[in-house]
Amino acid sequence: MTAGTTKETFVSAFRALEAGGNLGGPPWLRDLRWKAIARFAERGLPTPRDEEWKYTSIAPIAAVQFDLEAAGGAEGADDGLTEEAIAPFCVSPAWSRLVLVDGRYSAKLSAIRPLSRARIESLAEALIIDAEMLRPHLIRSAPAEATDAFAALNAAFWRDGALIHLPAGARVAEPIHLLFIATAAGPARIDHPRSLVVLERESRATLIESYITLAGDAPRLTNATTDIVVGPGAELDRYTLQLEDESAFHVGRVHVRQARESRVESCAVTFGGRLVRNEVRARLEAETAACTLNGLFVIGGRQHVDTHTVVDHVAPGATSRQLYKGILDGRARGVFSGRVIVRPGANGTDAHQTNKNLLLSDEVEVDSKPQLEIFADDVKCSHGAADGQLAADAVFYLKSRGLDEEAARTLLTFGFANEVLARIRVEPLRARLETLLTARLRGGRVANGEPREPAGLGLRHPESP
Amino acid sequence: MLSIRGLHAGVEGKEILRGIDLEVRAGEVHAVMGPNGSGKSTLAQVLAGHPAFAVTQGEVTYEGRNLLEMPPEERAREGLFLAFQYPVEIPGVANAQFLKAAVNEIRAHRGLEELDAMEFLDLLKEKFALVEMDPSFMSRAVNEGFSGGEKKRNEILQMALLEPRLAILDETDSGLDIDALRIVAGGINRLRRPDNAIILVTHYQRMLDYITPDRVHVLSGGRIVKSGGKALALTLEAKGYDWLEEKVEVSAEESAKVSAKVSAKVSAKVSAKVSE
């Protein structure tokens, strides 16, 4: 067996691409790329022996022979796509959207509304015209990339992504929507989208990131990095939608740094993907920062969803809240690892974490690992975890009102998930996700592996082949 | 409408109902009274079809059909309604969403069209007014964080929406202050019709100050030990349940110990109330 993708194939592909000038960027960025691939070469791909990857085997990813030299997306990847094709995923045509197709910015499909001083553009283009602005941010994320092989791969191979920049005091009411669309035509590919979100002092934005598969059956890995810097008094609401198809691999990470009196509220909703791993690292670097991380996954079949959160209380008096819920059916597998660190001196920290999972089948498995590491005094930290089935009393209550078994179970399952969706502040997005959830829950089960869904409701577009 | 004959039922092998006989006709209101542990709530749950209870003997006919063979949702669709003693909280499901699902299930069964959002909202507003509930309870999660009284009102609201033929109200009066009791009882009275029937399961007779029953039954040790008119409820209020339970000790020795224990507590409460 020679099939598969190994550490050596990644390294030699990088050398070939770099030597051919295909990855681009100024010398300092090329230097970062080389350092990243060197770190990757030291570490290699993660194995279950790595504590951070104990419950998630990447063997299904490593078994695929990816065409690594195609990494980053080809010119004209969006040729076959029209606005109509992506319309069902845009939620609202009024929102500014930045569209990446197979990892490459699509000017044709993007629609940037004039927003008060906010900058929304392709990161690759920003690099050409304004590299010095990006430089400190990209250099600053390098240490985080040293700890994880996929983060290092993104740092080495990335070509494009989004830049969102809000200057001080800029407050943008309308959501900004980033759509990462995979068309998966041709060979098995890996995209490494990289995004940078900078909110300067007292600015405010709402950001939605949607990961979508539009066509094709070729294996795909999306290896995404998003860096978010939230300045003093700035506020960010952020939503991530995982709507890729059920053959997609997705490994993503978000690094958030929060300044004094900043507020970040994040909600990650995962319906799609065959193997999905998401990491969120939030560093509360100054006093009274507030961070809320919510998440919901609804999975069936053989889907595997792994969520890793690290909330790092560096400064005193900051608040963090986490609510992660999962619904598993079929032979699905869920992992939640939630780590809260309270550094020495971070007194008065208030941190709370909840993880609840609803198990709809006997063959599902959930590994939940909360970790509190407290090195400060006078802190309020708590965590709770619960896995279970639907309550028999609740099922009977609904039946006594005329609902049959399936309708009762569907409504209760919906309610379990809706506790997370109800917290979404963008009403059209909340309504859309409620519709998607309803379509996904049928007969009290998680509908899974079905090739077609109603237009705009499903994980795949109905016109896709 | 409802005919119960020789009904025995229990939970996990423990017999709780030990031969219930009861006839309820359209237009009637029956009060089923009795001390804690006498089997009142079990009777209500068995009639609604709670799967935790097993019927071991006897039969129940509802509208000419064998009720015990019908799954709970079919009983509900056929017009049987149980107002729960402890209504269940359903996080994440808005009250209006739940109520709409229930109303449309039952309408579909009756061959009526589903109500659209506007029609349903109009109906909902009307019924909210009937039980004097604040409209904010439409969007709140079902029973979640409701006070005891709010939960009971929400049950009567459901009764008003679903228009049952036979309503069984399981201790709907318990936990209500006097104003809430008046509102709930007023709602129930307005739902009385010649073609429906109500079984009020209650510990105290105070609800019967507002809702006049046609028949009063006293349940003790899993059997109806006495039936009578409204006057019986007043006698119970004055004398407690003790004088009846002595009879039980003769007729059902095995249940005597349980009911004697329970009745001691109950009569203490009742007499305390009388002496107030």
| Res B248: pLDDT | 46
Q: Which tokens go with A109?
A: 């499909």
Q: Which tokens go with A214?
A: 């539009």
Residue among B203, B140, B137, B145 at smallest CA distance from B169:
B203
| Res A75: pLDDT | 64
| Res B57: pLDDT | 94
Q: Please compute the mean of the pLDDT values over residues A226-250 and round it to a whole number.
A: 95
DSSP A5: -
Task: Characterize the bridge pairing of strands A445-446 and A441-442.
Answer: antiparallel
The minimal CB distance from B88 to the residues A394, A403, A407 is found for A394
Q: Please give the share of chain B, as a percent, with pLDDT higher than 90.
A: 64
Residue among B207, B205, B235, B236 at smallest CA distance from B220:
B236
Q: Please give the share of chain A, as a percent, with pLDDT higher than 70.
A: 93
Instruction: Flag whether residue A400 sits within 8 Å of chain B, measured between CB atoms.
Output: yes
Q: For residues B168 and B47, give the distance between their C-alpha atoms in angstroms, rounded to a whole number.
A: 9
Phi, psi of A293, rounded to the nearest 5 degrees: -120, 115
Q: For residues A62 and A221, give the distance between their C-alpha atoms in angstroms, rounded to a whole number.
A: 10
pLDDT digits (tens, 9 = 90+) for A156-171: 999 999 999 999 999 9
Which single residue is written with the structure tokens 């095995």?
B254
| Res B12: pLDDT | 87
Q: For residues B30 and B166, give the distance between their C-alpha atoms in angstroms, rounded to a whole number.
A: 11
Find how far residue B213's CA is from the centre of its chain: 14
Closest-CA distance, A145 to chain B, in angstroms, reads: 38
Q: For residues A406 and A65, give the distance between their C-alpha atoms in angstroms, rounded to a whole number.
A: 42
Q: For residues A235 and A262, give the distance between their C-alpha atoms in angstroms, rounded to a whole number.
A: 6
> What residues have CB less than 8 Å from A447, skipping those under 6 apart?
A300, A439, A440, A441
Q: Which tokens go with A321?
A: 């809240």
Instruction: Flag whether residue A398 sits within 8 Å of chain B, measured between CB atoms.
Output: yes
CB A5 within 8 A of CB A67: no
Average pLDDT of chain B is 86
The three-point CA angle B47-B50-B55 to 5° equals: 65
Give the Cβ contact number of residue A2 at 10 Å. 5
User: What residue of A is the nearest CA neighbor of B89?
Assistant: A394
Q: Which residues of B touch A (CB under 8 A)?
A: 48-52, 71-73, 75-77, 81-82, 84, 87-88, 90-93, 97-98, 101-102, 105-106, 109, 141, 158, 162
Look at residue B6 and tell me whether its pLDDT is greater than 90.
yes
| Res B207: pLDDT | 87
Q: Is the dihedral of CA A69, A72, A78, A83 positive or negative?
A: positive
Bridge partners for A180 per DSSP: A100, A211
| Res B267: pLDDT | 40
Instruction: Flag whether residue A412 sits within 8 Å of chain B, measured between CB atoms.
Output: yes
Residue among B53, B56, B59 at smallest CA distance from B22:
B59
Strands (E), B166-260: 166-170, 197-202, 215-220, 223-228
Q: Is the dihedral of CA A421, A422, A424, A430 positive or negative?
A: positive
| ipTM score for this prediction | 0.88
| Res A406: pLDDT | 93
| Res B162: pLDDT | 93
The minimal CB distance from B73 to the residues A392, A402, A418 is found for A402
pLDDT digits (tens, 9 = 90+) for A297-343: 999 999 999 999 999 999 999 999 999 999 999 999 999 999 999 99
Q: Which tokens go with B203?
A: 């510990």
When scoring A323, A399, A434 by the number of chain B Cβ atoms within 10 A, the one with the most, hence best to mutate, is A399
Confidence of residue B232 (pLDDT cuts 50, 70, 90): confident
Give kind and range of the element (H or E) at residue A267.
Answer: strand A263-270
pLDDT digits (tens, 9 = 90+) for A50-109: 989 999 999 999 999 998 876 445 566 777 788 888 998 999 999 999 999 988 899 999
Looking at per-residue pLDDT, the higher value among B42 and A451 belongs to B42
Q: For residues A187 and A220, give the distance between their C-alpha atoms in angstroms, rounded to a whole number.
A: 9
Q: Which tokens go with A326?
A: 């999962």
- Check B76 against A411: CB less than 8 A apart: no
Helix axes B95-109, B148-162, angle to 10 degrees: 30
- Check B51 against A398: CB less than 8 A apart: no
DSSP A171: B
DSSP string, A237-258: EEEEEEE--TT-EEEEEEEEEE
Residue among A305, A227, A322, A313 at smallest CA distance from A267:
A322
pLDDT digits (tens, 9 = 90+) for B140-155: 999 999 998 899 999 9
Look at residue B25 and tell me whether its pLDDT is greater than 80.
yes
Q: Please compute the mean of the pLDDT values over residues B214-222 and round it to a whole number.
A: 92
Q: Which tokens go with B214?
A: 């046609």
Give kind and range of the element (H or E) at residue A121.
Answer: strand A119-122
B111: exposed, middle or buried (Cβ count in 10 Å: 0-12, 13-18, 19+): exposed
Three-state SS for B41-60 is HHHHHHHHCCCCCEEEEEEE
Q: Please compute the mean of the pLDDT values over residues A451-464 and round it to a whole number.
A: 37
- Check B73 against A417: CB less than 8 A apart: no
Strand, coil or helix: A43? helix
> What residues have CB less than 8 Å from A115, skipping those under 6 apart?
A96, A172, A174, A176
- Check A418 against B51: CB less than 8 A apart: no
Give kind and range of the element (H or E) at residue A381.
Answer: strand A380-388
- Check B73 against A422: CB less than 8 A apart: no
Q: Which residues in chain B touch residue A415, judged by CB atoms under 8 angstroms apart?
A: 90-93, 141
Question: Of all residues in chain A, what percent are helix, strand and coil, respectively (each to 5)?
Answer: 25, 35, 40
pLDDT digits (tens, 9 = 90+) for A395-431: 999 999 999 999 999 999 999 999 999 999 999 999 9
